[in-house]
Amino acid sequence: MHKTQLMKLVRQSISPLQWSAINRAIDYSTKMHSGQKRSSGEEYITHPLAVAAILVSWKMDAESVIAAILHDTVEDTDATLQEIESMFGKNIAVLVDGVTKVSATRSGMRDIESYLPETKDNLSKLLVAVGRDPRVIIIKLADRLHNLRTLEYLSPEKQHKIASESLEIFARLADRLGMGTVRVEIEEISFSYLNPKRFQFLKKLTKKRISKAHARFEDIKKEVKEELGKGKIKHQLDGRIKSIYSLHKKMAKYNDSIDEIFDFMALRIIVESESDCYGVMGIIHKMYQPKLNKIKDYIATPKTNGYRSLHTTVITTSKQIVEIQIRTKEMHEFAEHGLAASFHYNEQKQSKNYFRRSKSQPTAQHLAWVNDLKDAAKLVIDGYDSNEIKIDLFGDRVFIYTPKGDIFDLPEGAFPLDFAYRVHSDIGDHAHSFLVNNKIVKFDYTLQSGDIVEVKTKSNCKPNKDWLKYTKTPKARQKINSYLHDATN
């Protein structure tokens, strides 16, 4: 990737007001990395420019792109954060600093609860970096993705180490952030280095299967298109082929038989509105026989990473078993780009349809997992012992409902008090009792996904030390500790 190539991409999707700053960042980074080479023999500057290009393709904002261009300058050159801040502003300096710290501490990212105990300060640095700006993680993902794309130039030992770490950490991180296309590419490249024989075998098997099923799949698309046309439903049809690594994992569950994989090819139907999603589902079920145990409503109950869609598996008139996914354009954008799509939508706040979009999609502010990191960062900044902060980066989440149908995302193992504080700090501070699915439960009840929780409050109820036993989220613990601290001073 060279300057002219990157700027061509930038001009297609980033405001002209930002072009000058991006140009200056390229020139500065080129100067600082002068004389440095990559393992491929290319000038080192090609790497940060390629990372920036990836972020442009993800429709990230100009600050993220500039930070990507500069992301290795502090670590690998004589550049300083003070210099970067004076030239490009505080926000970009914070991003560069955050990416540097994530790079330095990533070996402990599997589980923050046991995060590098011999260098505890790394946890504080990571939490503060990511908590201050979640874009740090997205830039780091782009950095790792480009390193994977150029893995061929490293020794077999380094290839294995980086591929293993990428599959174990970065693919899961991309999944947690809802960045489906990124997760798939990281998994595919990593798997091809970790198990090349199996990868090539499944690649050939996939190619053979596609050629065999393609004609039948096109017939189904044609039938669906005709039926939706009758109902005058605006739509786009798209196909999805199961990735090689996903196929590998699923075949392992079925004695290595591809014949048991019914979602090898899936038909995606992209429509205008949420109500259209359900309408199309009804039409599909009139056309084909649905497998009742394979109907999944991820719109009403999203996946833990914010993914929303309707899934159904049907038996067609020609006895083919096909998975069909139905979603809106915004849901599709989020399914592909996840948290990165949130920043793209945030840049459209001035457009007339932003409000509609923001109502139908999770944004960076709505991803409670990111908010948990922010809450943990506040605790660290306030001086709390990082060993007491419990966040599992890849732990499961549960979705909890209010009686009015509002949905809240909490970590698995959360208690009713965590829910109360998630709804509002005042509700948490005055919680008296809890109704879960219309039944009274104790403070130590473990919330289950789908629970409907009503918090009963009393003005004379106040937090006490025992409440800490029945909380898991950083926000709840911080609020309780803050109250106890104020009460004793």
Which sequence positions are flagged as catalytic? 75-76
Top-confidence residue, 367 or 452: 452
- In this prediction, residues 241-260 reach a mean pLDDT of 82
> Residues 6 or more apart from 211 whose CB is under 8 A from it?
none
How do the residues of the chain divide into helix, strand and coil, expressed in percent and rounded to 5? Answer: 60, 10, 30
Residue pair 76/114 in contact by the 8 Å Cβ criterion: no
Segment 149-166 shows an average pLDDT of 91
Residue 318 banded pLDDT, cuts 50, 70, 90: confident
- What average pLDDT score do residues 297-311 get? 86
Q: Please, what is the average pLDDT of the chain? A: 83
pLDDT: which is higher, 320 or 259:
320
Question: How far out from the chain centre does Cα 362 lie?
Answer: 11
Enumerate long-range contacts of 293-299, CB under 8 Å, 24 or more apart.
Answer: 294/262, 294/323, 299/274, 299/327, 299/331
474: pLDDT strictly greater than 50: yes
Amino acid at 331: M
Is there a single domain that holds both residue 208 and residue 316?
A: yes
Question: Within a domain: residue 391?
Answer: no
**Structural domain contains residue 464:** yes
In our burial notation (b when 16+ CB lie closer than 10 A, e otherwise), range 46-65 reads bbbbbbbbbbbebbbbbbbb
Residue 51's domain is classified under what CATH number?
Answer: 1.10.3210.10
Res 297: pLDDT? 93
In a domain, 47, yes or no: yes
Give pLDDT, residue 363. 46
Evaluate whether residue 474 is within a structural domain: yes
Place 103 in a pLDDT band, splitting at 50, 70 and 90.
low
Q: Both 30 and 130 in a single domain?
A: yes
Same domain, 226 and 329: yes
Looking at the structure, tell me whether residues 69 and 170 fall in a common domain: yes
| pLDDT given at position 354 | 32
| Same domain assignment for residues 223 and 261 | yes
Structural domain contains residue 350: no
Q: Is 36 helix (H, G, I), strand (E, B) or coil?
A: coil
In a domain, 243, yes or no: yes
Task: Kindly state whether residues 75 and 109 are assigned to the same domain.
Answer: yes
Does some domain include residue 44?
yes
Q: Distance between CA atoms of 109 and 184, rounded to whole angstroms? A: 20
**Domain co-membership, 158 together with 13:** yes
Percent of the chain at pLDDT above 90? 47
The boundaries of the domain holding residue 329 are 196-342
Dump pLDDT digits (tens) for 44-98.
999 999 999 999 999 899 999 999 999 999 988 999 999 999 999 999 998 998 8
pLDDT class of 356 with cuts at 50, 70, 90: very low
DSSP state of 133: -
In the numeric block, which tokens belong to residue 394? 């890849």
User: Three-class SS of residue 184?
Assistant: helix
Whether residue 325 is found in the same domain as residue 262: yes
- Give residue 451's pLDDT: 86
What's the CA gap between 486 and 489, in Å, rounded?
A: 5
Q: Indicate whether 161 belongs to any domain.
A: yes
CATH number, residue 455: 3.10.20.30
Whether residue 85 is found in the same domain as residue 212: no
Please name the amino acid found at residue 111. Answer: D
Q: Which of the listed residues 306, 323, 342 is the one where a domain comes to its end?
A: 342
Output the domain CATH number for residue 271: 3.30.460.10
Of how many residues is the chain composed?
489
Predicted confidence (pLDDT) at residue 116 exceeds the cutoff of 70: no
- Does residue 433 surpass a pLDDT of 60? yes
pLDDT computed for residue 125 by the predictor: 55
CB burial of 373-401 (b: ≥16 within 10 Å; e: otherwise) equals bbbbbbbbeeebebeebbbebebebbbbb
**Would you place residue 489 in the very low, low, confident or very high pLDDT band (cuts 50, 70, 90)?**
confident
Q: What band does 143 get if pLDDT is binned at 50, 70 and 90?
A: very high
Domain count, the chain: 3
Residue environment code for 274-313, b if the CB has 16+ CB neighbours within 10 A, otherwise e: bebbebbbebbeebbebeeeeebebbeebebbbbbbbbbb
Tell me which of 307, 325, 342 is where a domain ends: 342
Q: How confident is the model at residue 134 (pLDDT cuts 50, 70, 90)?
A: confident
Q: Does the pLDDT value for residue 221 go beyond 60?
A: yes
Could you tell me if 165 and 23 lie in one domain? yes
pLDDT tens per residue across span 170-208: 888 888 788 889 999 999 999 999 999 999 999 998 888
Distance CA 436, CA 425 (A): 19
pLDDT of 27 higher than 90: yes
Out of 113-122, 186-195, 323-332, 340-349, least confident range: 113-122
Predicted confidence (pLDDT) at residue 348 exceeds the cutoff of 60: no
Q: What span, in angstroms and rounded, lies between the C-alpha atoms of 131 and 370?
A: 8
449 compared with 297, residue with greater pLDDT: 297
Average pLDDT over residues 344-353: 45
Residues 127, 53, single domain; the answer is yes
- The pLDDT score that the predictor gives to residue 374 is 66
Name the most confidently modeled range: 329-338, 364-373, 390-399.
329-338
Q: What is the mean pLDDT of residues 90-111?
A: 70
Distance separating alpha carbons of residues 36 and 56, to the nearest angstrom: 24
Q: 27 and 136: one domain? A: yes
Instruction: Determine the pLDDT at residue 355.
Output: 31
Contact between 8 and 52 (Cβ < 8 Å)? no
